[in-house]
Amino acid sequence: MLNGHLKLAIQKNGRLTEKSLSLLRNCGLEIEDYSERLIITARNYSLDILFLRDDDIPEYVNDGVADIGVVGEDVLYEKKSDVQILRKLGYGKCNLSIAAPEEKKISEFNQLNGLRIATSFPNLLKKFLTENRINADVVEISGSVEIAPSLGVADIIFDLVSTGNTLKFNKLKKSFDVYSFESVLIVNKDIQLDPRKNSELNDLLNRIDSALNAKKSKYLMMNAPKGALDKIKKIVPSLSSPTILPLADENMIAVHAVIQSEHFWKIHQQLKDAGASGILLLPIENIIL
Ligand code: PRP
Ligand code: ZN
């Protein structure tokens, strides 16, 4: 069934599925429609993609069923598997939070004493309770934790919150966040023993780094009077050596630079005030550093 390719496990049908596939596509991998498949192979790259329940991914990577995996830090820290984190991936950001039925107001830790808290993260919940000397009952549930209060099996819940839609839909309100997580790339510790897989992994990591860098950056282009260049250099962070191009109007120049995406909206008005015009911000597909 398997062909000796590097094997990557990603979440089947969940918050991280589409984003993980889109990261791989940004790495130049062609991936066919995966619906209802358990394993697919990238069309132009030696990588098998396994679709698994996110809770199982740390265990499968630990056992070597998959060599690497994309998983939320939440699941990773809950399962305490002996795998290594290779990269933080910057997506799938979420909080592990205490939430209560809308009419119940909880704003302080000590209000949790004596309550029954439903969760599928018993280890992380117990850690939080112990560290804060809270005496509460942990009700372990494997899925759909959000319905526990309405079923009467718990008073409140400790669960992942991303957009908050699941809470709203179940008439629950977040009391406070306890932990913050994002998705990470994990690897089986024995991969070093397999030189071929190791070099395949290095190639994939180079592509992932380039795709993650490209996502953080944008290509900024503008026209400006020659005399404004010094001012513009001061406004644009890290613009030590921009590309300067002559324009038909010899008093004008074009300035091009790679900037951090998040900076653009902070500086665009200042650039205009300095005399820049025709400001363009373009996406970058890849950056090889
Ligand atoms: C988590 C959590 C909620 C949902 C919250 O599930 O259990 O169901 O995400 O997201 P929201 O705030 O955007 O509504 P996850 O994707 O980890 O799937 P799983 O429960 O099957 O592991
Ligand atoms: Zn999950």
- What is the domain-level CATH number for residue 233? 3.30.70.120
Torsion of CA 111, 115, 119, 121, to 10 degrees: 60
pLDDT of res. 1:
43
Residues 236 and 269 in one domain: yes
Q: Quick one: average pLDDT of 269-283?
A: 95
Query: Counting ligands in written order, which one lies closest to the CA of residue 146?
Result: 1
**20 domain residue, yes or no:** yes
Percent of the chain with pLDDT over 70: 97
Over the chain, what is the mean pLDDT?
93
DSSP secondary structure letters along 173-187: EEEEEEEEE-EEEEE
Residues 88 and 187 in one domain: yes
Give the CATH number of the domain where residue 147 resides: 3.40.190.10
pLDDT in tens, 174-233: 999 999 999 999 999 999 889 999 999 999 999 999 999 888 889 999 999 999 999 998
Ligand 1 atom closest to residue 143's alpha carbon, by position in its atom list: 20
**289 domain residue, yes or no:** no
pLDDT of res. 269:
95
Q: Are 287 and 213 within 8 A, CB to CB?
A: yes
Distance CA 166, CA 120 (A): 15
Residues 66 and 198 in one domain: yes
Residues 47 and 113 in one domain: no
Phi first, then psi: give them for residue 73, nearest 5 degrees: -60, -30
The last residue of one of the domains, among 196, 214, 232, is 214
Q: Quick one: average pLDDT of 252-263?
A: 91
Cβ-Cβ contacts under 8 Å for 151 (sequence gap 6 or more): none
CB atoms within 10 A of CB 250: 8
**207 domain residue, yes or no:** yes
Identify the band that residue 125 occupies on the pLDDT scale cut at 50, 70 and 90: very high
Q: Which residue has the higher pLDDT, 240 or 139?
A: 139
Q: How far is the CA of 284 from the centre of ligand 1 (A)?
A: 31
Residues 65 and 202 in one domain: yes
Residues 80 and 11 in one domain: yes
pLDDT of res. 86:
96
Torsion of CA 161, 162, 163, 165, to 10 degrees: -40
The last residue of one of the domains, among 124, 155, 180, is 180
Residues 105 and 171 in one domain: yes
The residues facing 259 across adjacent strands are 218
Q: Which residues have any ligand 1 atom within 6 Å of their CB? A: 14-15, 54-55, 143, 159-166
Identify the band that residue 3 occupies on the pLDDT scale cut at 50, 70 and 90: low
On whether the pTM is more than 0.85, the answer is no
Residue 239 has pLDDT above 80, yes or no: no
Torsion of CA 193, 199, 203, 205, to 10 degrees: 20
What is the residue range of 191's domain? 6-92+183-214
**1 domain residue, yes or no:** no
Query: Counting ligands in written order, which one lies closest to the CA of residue 99?
Result: 1
pLDDT of res. 287:
78
Residues 170 and 209 in one domain: no
Residues 264 and 253 in one domain: yes
Half-sphere exposure of 289 (CA within 13 A, CB side): 11
Residues 149 and 205 in one domain: no
280 is written with which tokens?
A: 């363009």
- With both helix axes pointing from N to C terminus, report the angle between 17-26 and 195-216 in degrees, rounded to the nearest 10: 100
Percent of the chain with pLDDT over 90: 81
Distance CA 212, CA 210 (A): 6
pLDDT in tens, 134-167: 999 999 999 899 999 999 999 999 999 999 999 9
Q: Quick one: average pLDDT of 26-31?
A: 93
Residue 56 is given by DSSP the state G
Number of domains forming the structure of the chain:
3
Residues 16 and 156 in one domain: no
pLDDT of res. 147:
97
Q: How far is the CA of 80 from the centre of ligand 2 (A)?
A: 15
- For residue 101, give the nearest of 160, 204, 161, 171 by alpha carbon: 171
Which residues hold their Cβ within 5 A of ligand 2, which is an ion? 54
Q: Amino acid identity of 214? A: A
